[in-house]
Structure 1
Amino acid sequence: MNTKDLVGVGIGPFNLSIAALCHDNPQLEVAFYDKKPSFCWHPGMLLPNTYLQTSFLKDLVTAVNPQSPFSFLAYLVSKKRFYAFLNQERPAISRHEYNDYLQWVSRQLQTLNFNQRIEKIDFNNDTFEVYLEQNTAPVISKNLCLGTGKRPHIPAAVKAQYHKENCFHAIEMANHKRDFTNKRVTVIGGGQSGAEIFLHLLQGHDGEPQEINWVSRRSNFLPMDETCFTNEWFSPKYIDSFFPLPSQAKTQIVDEQKLASDGISESTLKSIYECLYDKKVAGEQQNYRLRPNRDLTAAYLSNGLVLEAHNKFDNTTEHYHSDIIILATGFENALPEYLEPIKHRLDLNNEQQFHLNRDYSIRWDGPQNNKLYALNAGRYSHGISEPQMSLMCWRSATIVNDLLGREYYDLQDDCSFVEWRNPTPFDATQHKLSA
């Protein structure tokens, strides 16, 4: 029986990065599975004129192996548009181009298996048994890497009205037959996705809405903090300092850093403001309302959908009549059903989230030589960079090194200008005050 060194569950950018780095190591027997028919990165969010908030150099491989044939620069050269890419001088690449890059890599890796849904995972005889929907015999592996992502977060106030026709999550936006002509549309969420959808509606790409409401819990439509010292939070040295902290301190720190990863790009805010100004100059009838600092309190049917919100600024109640509601409300953790056979062996907190070790493996009661690595599951253990693509490749290399039991990839990065931890603990005996 062919026992794999690693089976990856789900093929998104994170597991794709691991697959690309494993390609350099023929001694590793790996396989990755996904129920999708082929690779596509959040197809429902591939709207026109939407861009990444991360540098193209933070791709699948470059930070640990710039010579890799799977780098974004290698992709540009293969597509014969290296110079055109440089000439455009855009600060970020489009979601469409990034998705095309990821698909280009996926087509070159023989370890990826699509149209393969995983039903359950069990553990017997010191190996994991991965049961695929169409196979009776399981795939056997020493280790697993869980990369199936998170589920859309649906606010409690709208759950009763949530369905695919007129109340849907932003991740499904591009998949819908969109005609917003003369419709009352409400966008909920003040992050990047909400901003992109609001701009998309303003520009009338899918018809001219009768009314557009943009609602957010935040005090205003706030920019992402992309300044240089803030970006020190997205570095290996910061993770080294952050990981040993007490859990309560980590939670407080991460919550304070929200706008470093979940704000709106300055370019998007500028485009929205310019669009609003141009409409005012042109004398167009105002069909939009920007409404920050509101908490949703209810949603009900009455001649269409009606949203009720609490205005935290003046402590009043508001109602928005809507034909369509788009939830740009992010994602939340959910324990995958396929883990049910071994769920009782995993170390979970009260929110059913994994407790992770430094090497991104889940703490569990099984043999330490058999590991379940979890991707995008360590925001409160490894820091704010964990759900982002900024340190994706560095994390992938950490996992590959751990599989190999040696430092195959050099992960040292000593160029950090901020001292996060006290380098020399205070010794009171050496600092006595004179009388």
Structure 2
Amino acid sequence: MTSHVLDLAGAGIGPFNLSLAAQLDSVPQLSVRFFERRPSFAWHPGMMLPGAEMQTSILKDLVTATNPTSRWSFLSYLVAHKRFYQFINAEYEAVPRKEFADYLGWVASGLASLRFGSRVREIHANDGFFSVTTDHGVIGARNLSVGIGKVPARPAWSEQLAKSMTFHSSEAAQRLGDVKAPRIAVIGGGQSGAEIVDALLDRNSTSTIHWISRRPNFEPLDATPFTNELFTPSYMERFHGLPEELRLTHTRRQVLASDGVSASTLKKLYRRLYERKLETPSAVDQGISLRPFRNVIAAVQDGSEVTLTTRNGFDDSMETLTIDLIVLATGYRFVLPDFLHSLENRIELNSVGEPALRSDFSLVWDGPDENRIFVLNAGRHSHGIAEPQLSLTAWRSAVIANSLLGHEHFDLGQLDPIIRWETQTSPSNYSSSVGLAAE
């Protein structure tokens, strides 16, 4: 092991650890290094479908919310690429996802603290620091940041099916071009499902597409102003202070604030279906069948076909469909990374099996308080629906930076929220102290 002990070692370089690295680039007194098994930066390459758009503002980038003068902002990226004025003139309602991915890659190419092609393999807790084994040796670090992302969630009924007959939305960009199946089911009524249906309509004119969702309808993302208050630091901090039972209730109720379909995508799809009816008014389904309020309860494979059985929540009836290919737009789930298994019995979990997180995004474990393990993208049920989203990425990174430093390097104070969420005995200005002390 090298003799130098880092202040922070990061495992995984996705947008969240990339944001932390970009924020810490302005804190030279901290020694940090981030490791990624892939040879270069890539952000959801399997979902880079033509026309895919961001669902968040460009101002909610890696750094701007707490460090607006940083060289790693999206606006700095536009200026560096001589596209500032043309970007403004384009008047995007939503930024193309490919451009935001290019921005992330630009940041990744400029940060000296990143190490690509080097996987974190093992982590062990020693006296006052962690021993981190990578592909290129062993290093010491006082703190860890885990940003390896979640894994594709696949329904239990799909596990028995041949892999050639199903694929997850995370593989869509690589798999959709070769799809020739006559009958395709897309499972999932969120943004990914909508984008896959749209892409299939573009690439395949001979297949019949069945779009199946458990939700009562194909419902839009709620991005209205008062709902967007859920994506603010003041709400997240109040949410974290609630009892777990209430937090779980709120996250279930707020699903459309974080996982609905963008209005522009829904409008585009509806217009496509309308135009198909103009072209072939006698056709029953124009090659697509929309089936909301259906819950798949069984899937039986017979040779090259799969029979799906669904329960229709609208009329409480049962339906069966014969399908040749299934695309699972069924989201992602948290799994404790293999390199943390040595600490598994020392980590406190919540009732849904996720790590219990303190307000500064460090997990609760039985080790020393000064050796923290920050976990990014595992706090939906501890910090709220904004935690897995890009909206508060810069703020979370600043919280972690302040926690590492032990003082408020980044000013995280907030005005009183517009909405009074909790019961208050007397009004007072709200000033954040998140990240300065463990709970």
Q: TM-score range by the shorter chain?
A: over 0.9
Match of 2:124 among 117, 122, 125: 122
**CA RMSD, aligned part only?**
1.5
> What's 1:169 paired with?
168
- 8 Å Cα contact 1:184/1:209 also seen in 2: no
Aligned 1:212-231 pairs, distance under 5 A: 212-231=209-228
Separation in 1, partners of 2:339, 2:138: 13
> What's 2:236 paired with?
239
> What's 1:283 paired with?
280
- 8 Å Cα contact 1:170/1:328 also seen in 2: yes
> What's 1:68 paired with?
70
Shift of 1:353: 1.0
Separation in 2, partners of 1:282, 1:414: 55
Q: How many residues align?
A: 421
- 8 Å Cα contact 1:185/1:209 also seen in 2: no
Separation in 2, partners of 1:46, 1:183: 24
Separation in 1, partners of 2:221, 2:214: 16
> What's 1:366 paired with?
367
User: CA offsets, 1:355-410, max 9 Å, x none?
Assistant: 11111100111100000001111111111111111001000000001111111111
Shift of 1:176: 2.2
Separation in 1, partners of 2:357, 2:349: 9
The AA in structure 2 aligned to 1:149 is G
Shift of 1:423: 2.0
Aligned 1:20-419 pairs, distance under 5 A: 20-132=22-134, 134-135=135-136, 137-161=137-161, 163=163, 165-176=164-175, 178-181=177-180, 183-202=182-201, 204-205=202-203, 207-283=204-280, 285=283, 286-302=286-302, 303-414=304-415, 416-419=417-420
- 8 Å Cα contact 1:180/1:208 also seen in 2: no
- 8 Å Cα contact 1:224/1:261 also seen in 2: yes
Name whichever of 173-182 and 15-24 sits farther off: 173-182
Separation in 1, partners of 2:131, 2:387: 27
- 8 Å Cα contact 1:189/1:216 also seen in 2: yes
> What's 2:437 paired with?
none
Separation in 2, partners of 1:138, 1:38: 21
Name whichever of 411-420 and 41-50 sits farther off: 411-420
The AA in structure 2 aligned to 1:211 is T
Shift of 1:139: 1.4
The AA in structure 1 aligned to 2:126 is N
The AA in structure 1 aligned to 2:44 is H
- 8 Å Cα contact 2:186/2:197 also seen in 1: yes
User: CA offsets, 1:22-49, max 9 Å, x none?
Assistant: 1111111000011111001000000000
Q: Which runs of 4+ in 1 moved over 4 A?
A: none
Distance 1:415 1:58, change over 3 A: farther
Among all aligned residue pairs of Structure 1 and Structure 2, give the percentage whose two residues are the same amino acid. 46
The AA in structure 2 aligned to 1:299 is A
Separation in 2, partners of 1:387, 1:92: 19
- 8 Å Cα contact 2:294/2:311 also seen in 1: yes
Shift of 1:415: 5.3
Secondary structure of 2:246 counterpart: helix
Separation in 2, partners of 1:254, 1:59: 24
User: CA offsets, 1:42-78, max 9 Å, x none?
Assistant: 0000000001110010000000111111000010111
Secondary structure of 2:110 counterpart: coil
Separation in 1, partners of 2:181, 2:125: 55
- 8 Å Cα contact 1:180/1:209 also seen in 2: no
TM-score when scaled to structure 1? 0.94
Shift of 1:231: 0.5
